[in-house]
Structure 1
């Protein structure tokens, strides 16, 4: 079956002294016939395969030429933005981008120490059940033997079929194999390569992307109004389809990941999904065993992915978090995440019906830092003991309990759990409970399994600790199930219990207030959905795609946060707020100190502006309450409050 996407009209525009023309185009999209059509209604017939739901944990190689400078993600774009850190690095180490561009970085990627079989053995031991190779990033460089694009890893750089070699290694070790494509955004993402310095000795001299000889790498100039993540250019949409179809048809991956929503938000992206599903249905006599995942809610049509974030509750459909132990590409300036963070992310995600896809950052030569290999070894030990409560499990009636509520959404993954944070999974007749920390008094209390007045509810018959052969002392009270830990526990970071019994149902647990901890930079983000709200009208809503405190019309109402300061010192208070009223302000109260944040008119309840309210002084480490309240109850004017940032002063 072929689908045609037609455009009409002719538009001629001058961009960077080059003629950009959008001609009438007819895009033929060759799609394999089958049960799926390129329409949302048709894709509702998709069911996520059991292998993915059972796998729970995958490892990703987010690796390619952009690793060469060891300066992190988006290097190929940011090296063309004067003043950017990566631009300055490129200028100092490779030369000016008008003379030495990204095309000159590609040959430097040799992958001379890359041993995919050795790495796959490490990844399998660490618990991965599937592996994902980078297929192509926004840098427009294909890591496979591309039919349609000369800029690929077989022709240049390592001169190896990176996707193919990864796939062979995954097959050898029995892992499902996936590929990631980030190509859809490349057309607009790479446009800075057509620019030039705004100041300095080379001001106005075009970067190498302006040279039409290299437009097959950097793309032609985009139309002035073509600035979104996905380009409107129909010829580019067709090229994307043919190249990703080539990738899918050659390697037949078990999983295909798109960095963004459905590409181009139109029939082009849906056509690729339909072709992918139909190809697998043909191979498996009508049964679709592949997974397509992108960053868009789907209602089960594909697997929704969250970048560097988690769901806030159990999702009825399988989903995935993609994140990294460091930057996405190797960055010598970043520290790696500890194994404890990875384990806590995995357990929390699995308890909510999700999978974790973890990028293990490779050096440009393809090897791993010793610190990364050590982390994988620690993860392997933990998963060998606790994997029973992870793999092939399904969510319980509630995902967990505790003070740390992992709020849903992308780019929210810095959570500091304690032994009071419990996560549940189930398998057959067993209930598994994981405590995400070690208690100081040696006791784990699971409040959801408290004794009730109904003698038939929560009748626990046996409790074992995963990896421990001895008997576990426990008791069940009206407060909760109390488990006494032995002197020596088999695993660190998160302790797993297997609980047998009848009629196990969670007792309603009153949520304790969340505590805000410092992020990796020592700053604090007091987000709207971490606040305790005092009043009958004030509540958390969603304006502009993120939570905020709204409906704050009553001057008698206020919000407060519990904040755990690990260090004393001064912190600048920055308030992100919106209002349509002149003269709006909000008071920030902390330990007898009171600051006033004057909120400017933003013109829209969804348009937020960050302002400084001054500094607070934390006299000594500890847990404190910070309050946001009306300055003057008689003159209160409503605001929407998105967050309060507490930042250490910059030197």
Structure 2
């Protein structure tokens, strides 16, 4: 029954995701030439690392959400039944024990580079408001005197991460949460928080909201001006966005939205001002105002999902390498085959793949994170040519074969191998035909492959010598020209 429910849940989620994509407002293209150039470069990178890390790693629990009073189930407070304010006090006291003395961003960066990742997005601040950088706007930060790691010469964690990854040639992106549940100008302790939204009436206390906007602006300006070259500003907390107050009932903060979720207040954070300031410091900066479909969502970010078909705008699937976004002891990691298949599927549909890891309280990644990245890198060293700087090409997928195309016209037919599967004697697909006389080769092998057209499809013969080799995850066949 559990397996059946999981299958049904997956099918419903896939259907819901496809339906949501169809209902999305139109993508608004960027007009800034420098940003367009950077977006074009980013679309060639294809594969990146997302890092969720904060004091929540001390408890080995889901990031931030346990202090939000929404009944999510997966965010239960520990121990169960602990009074809310007692728990928040305990949670915020984690700052006084956060001391990741084994923090080694160079090791992370080398592993990411070895896996073929070309950009990193690091959580400078999650929704709980704890800052992993040396902000001057709050004492709730890793460099504050009452945080033991502040005595470490590498206490400005975000800066160390960005520098380590840039030294490896990996582009830097800053994750930043627009909501801040620690800040008195977002969750004012005069009122109890009810959910993830601002907990006071902005129309009654406009000066408090103005202070919060300034606080957010100032923190982002610190990140954009004091932390070297930043390529991506990845903003989370999409519920912080403009809303028409005319749609809200008088004195009611919980009128119904069309999607069934409560309609909240006009949490306009002034994205126009933030983006202009950020790009003044970082020309060409990609701004990703997640789930706020408008001019400041330069690319879209389906979470833990892969779209059913190619999308006609820039996009990136963000997904966990294990089960959780943040560190959980004994977390279960996805098989390398699954990750490679996801990467091929995403790239064949024109997207990028942002794969998440969560460091532990000591600053180390799970050993399995490293072995997984090593295995991914071994595959990418052979097949990266079929991944990087490619575009989607029709029919993008036929059965177990996915297709990508280089700007020079080369097409790659990538055959997805099941775990333990040997390379078959023939690989066939429909919808795409090599040009007459085209010489096909398999990446990682020198043999020329014979092929023939059968009806509207192509059949490629695989030499016996190649069938005997121990291929992992997938093989890529280069087709220099197609009809």
What TM-score results when the alignment is normalised by the length of structure 1? 0.57
CA contact (8 A) 1:135 1:181 kept: yes
Report matched runs for 1:618-629 at 5 Å: none
- Distance in 2 separating the partners of 1:427 and 1:230: 50
Q: Render the CA deviation track for 1:78-123: whole Å, top value 9, x for unaligned.
A: 699799774233779x999269521211222211211111221111
1:220 aligns with 2:220: no
1:105 is matched with 94
Report matched runs for 1:77-226 at 5 Å: 77=67, 86-89=76-79, 97=86, 100-155=89-144, 156-159=147-150, 160-182=155-177, 184-187=178-181, 215=184, 219-221=188-190
1:362 aligns with 2:385: no
- Distance in 1 separating the partners of 2:417 and 2:374: 20
Seen in structure 2, the aligned counterparts of structure 1 residues 59 and 48 have a Cα distance that, compared at 3 Å, is same
2:218 is matched with 242
Seen in structure 2, the aligned counterparts of structure 1 residues 216 and 113 have a Cα distance that, compared at 3 Å, is farther
- Where does structure 1 lack aligned partners over 5 or more consecutive residues? 1-39, 191-213, 282-287, 403-419, 451-456, 506-651
- Distance in 2 separating the partners of 1:267 and 1:65: 26
2:312 is matched with 316
- Distance in 1 separating the partners of 2:280 and 2:72: 46
2:332 is matched with 335
- Distance in 2 separating the partners of 1:225 and 1:69: 24
CA contact (8 A) 2:389 2:407 kept: yes
Report matched runs for 1:520-599 at 5 Å: none
CA contact (8 A) 1:67 1:363 kept: yes
2:398 is matched with 401
- Distance in 1 separating the partners of 2:92 and 2:314: 40
- Distance in 1 separating the partners of 2:53 and 2:458: 46
CA contact (8 A) 2:188 2:199 kept: no
- Distance in 2 separating the partners of 1:100 and 1:148: 21
CA contact (8 A) 2:46 2:388 kept: yes
1:390 is matched with 387
Q: Name the SS for the 1:321 alignment partner.
A: strand
The alpha-carbon deviation at position 459 of structure 1 amounts to: 2.7
1:371 aligns with 2:368: yes
Seen in structure 2, the aligned counterparts of structure 1 residues 477 and 83 have a Cα distance that, compared at 3 Å, is closer
2:47 is matched with 57
- Distance in 2 separating the partners of 1:169 and 1:224: 38
1:459 is matched with 436
CA contact (8 A) 2:29 2:298 kept: no
Report matched runs for 1:476-555 at 5 Å: 476-485=453-462, 486-489=466-469, 491-501=471-481, 504-505=482-483
- Distance in 1 separating the partners of 2:438 and 2:403: 20
CA contact (8 A) 1:321 1:356 kept: yes
CA contact (8 A) 1:140 1:218 kept: no
CA contact (8 A) 1:79 1:88 kept: no
Superposition RMSD in Å: 3.3
2:271 is matched with 269
What TM-score results when the alignment is normalised by the length of structure 2? 0.75
1:447 is matched with 430
CA contact (8 A) 1:180 1:256 kept: yes
CA contact (8 A) 1:350 1:425 kept: no
Seen in structure 2, the aligned counterparts of structure 1 residues 315 and 80 have a Cα distance that, compared at 3 Å, is closer
2:281 is matched with 279
Seen in structure 2, the aligned counterparts of structure 1 residues 180 and 368 have a Cα distance that, compared at 3 Å, is same
Seen in structure 2, the aligned counterparts of structure 1 residues 390 and 272 have a Cα distance that, compared at 3 Å, is same
The alpha-carbon deviation at position 186 of structure 1 amounts to: 2.8
Seen in structure 2, the aligned counterparts of structure 1 residues 79 and 97 have a Cα distance that, compared at 3 Å, is farther
Structure with greater helix share of residues: 2
Q: Render the CA deviation track for 1:208-229: whole Å, top value 9, x for unaligned.
A: xxxxxx9589643458898648
The alpha-carbon deviation at position 177 of structure 1 amounts to: 0.8
1:295 aligns with 2:300: no
The alpha-carbon deviation at position 386 of structure 1 amounts to: 0.5
The alpha-carbon deviation at position 65 of structure 1 amounts to: 0.7
The alpha-carbon deviation at position 295 of structure 1 amounts to: 2.3
2:448 is matched with 471
Larger RCO of the pair (alpha carbons < 8 Å, separation 6+): 2
- Distance in 1 separating the partners of 2:90 and 2:401: 49
1:649 is matched with none
1:66 is matched with 56
- Where does structure 2 lack aligned partners over 5 or more consecutive residues? 1-26, 203-208, 243-267
CA contact (8 A) 2:65 2:75 kept: no
- Distance in 1 separating the partners of 2:64 and 2:475: 38
